[in-house]
Amino acid sequence: MIDRYAAPEMTEIWTTEARYSRWLEIEILAVEARHRAGLVPLEDLEKIQRNAAFNKERVDEIEAVTHHDVIAFLTSVSESLGLESRHIHYGMTSSDILDTCMAMQIRDSGVLIKEALKNYGEALAGLVRRSKGIVCMGRTHGMNAEPTTMALKFAGHYAEYLRCMKRLEDGLDSSCVGTISGAVGTYAYLDPSVEEFVCEKLNLGVEEVPTQVVARDRHAQFLYALAAIGGAMERFATECRHLQRTEVGEVEERFGKGQKGSSAMPHKRNPIVGERLCGLARLLRGYLQVGLENTALWHERDISHSAAERFIFPDACGVALYGLRKAADLASGLRIIESSVAFNVERAGDRYFSQSIMLAMVRHGLTREESYALVQKIAMDAMESGNSFAEAAVAQEEVTGVVPEEELSNICTIDNHLRNEEYILGRLGLS
């Protein structure tokens, strides 16, 4: 994770020092489990708990010869102990501490990401509440469609946040599992109770059928949750970017005192946060692709996944955390320019009543095809001439001969389009 976007508390989780510390914690817990089973003398356990340590520089020195980081680590730890070091890593294999450690790192990263996601959701909920009742144009294909409200527009993003939270929780449940099962996952030299004790102490689940490693589809599920969060942030950011365009001008990112928009044009206020979020979402989808590629390992294991995971997990967690914090800032600081919103509704004319009139004619007995053709012609003529569509429709005998004028007046109102705002928001608990 580059310094520009790094959160220190996330970076700390994925440092080499933190990794080794977790390895040591796992190793000591495994010794404790074997002591509880009567296999390690209490005196040896206490010496290990009191004295076991590693020296990062020494690990690096040994690894330069062994080309094996776990062996280098274990050698450094053994140098801090006496004969009791024989209990360290007993019956275990490298993946027992590698995969269990990664589960711990994902667990700890998940705490930060969940908190940031929750804050993003609260910011979206606040945006929905302060935009209730603000009528705006809904757009499909980038073109004016029918009226909606700003609250309903943003409520869709809040609903997506709720789904993201569920996916994240499921992804954490899936990936936060450890294994202490030995060379090919058969527990040949360790009783499964050791694994159960260690994982319970670390608040981790247990891989049901280890193959020396934890199955990588579990981690891919977590990475999918992060990629889905990226997609949610991108969709919200894209909406804000479009609404901030000069010719739309309905919202604006927070622009702080002293902030600059362009090195050349002092008048610019650009949607830089939204643009940044869109870029970060691409990274999260890329990490997912690598995670999916990692799922198909040879036989009980190979290490084709290993080097890739050293990149993707710290970066994916860091990008997700940074992005969510920026997305929360975007939502909480988003300025709604109500005058522009109202102007765009007025400028849209009244052609959005076309469906109201078409369906009224259907209710009065015309086929949908007949109604559509007639209403479309009136709407197209009104667009070309710049006249009122509703007035043109009332002037057409083909329309008033089917639908009474009074009924046309009653249905050609914006209120008819927006009468269910409270009901829809109520589904989310935001009414």
Catalytic residues: 141, 262
**CA-closest candidate to residue 274, choices 341, 329, 317:** 329
First to last CA, the chain: 40
Distances (CA, A) of 416 to 311, 353, 355, 412, 420: 53, 10, 12, 8, 9
Angle at Cα 43 formed by Cα 42 and Cα 44, nearest 5°? 90
| 389-395 long-range contacts, CB within 8 A, separation 24+ | 389/349, 389/350, 389/351, 389/353, 389/354, 390/350, 390/353, 390/357, 393/353, 393/357
Indicate the SS3 state at residue 144.
strand
How far is it, in rounded angstroms, from Cα 178 to Cα 22? 12
Q: Which residues contact 65 (CB under 8 A, 6 or more apart)?
A: none
424, 154 Cβ separation under 8 angstroms: no
CA atoms within 13 A on the CB side of 48: 28
As a dihedral over the C-alpha atoms of residue 97, residue 11, residue 307, residue 298, rounded to 10 degrees, the angle is 50
Question: Where does 131-201 have alpha helices with state H?
Answer: 150-175, 192-201
Length of the chain: 431
Structure-block tokens of residue 95: 């993946």
Residue tagged 């870029």 (tokens): 279
Question: Where does 7-135 have alpha helices with state H?
Answer: 8-13, 16-36, 42-51, 56-66, 69-78, 94-130
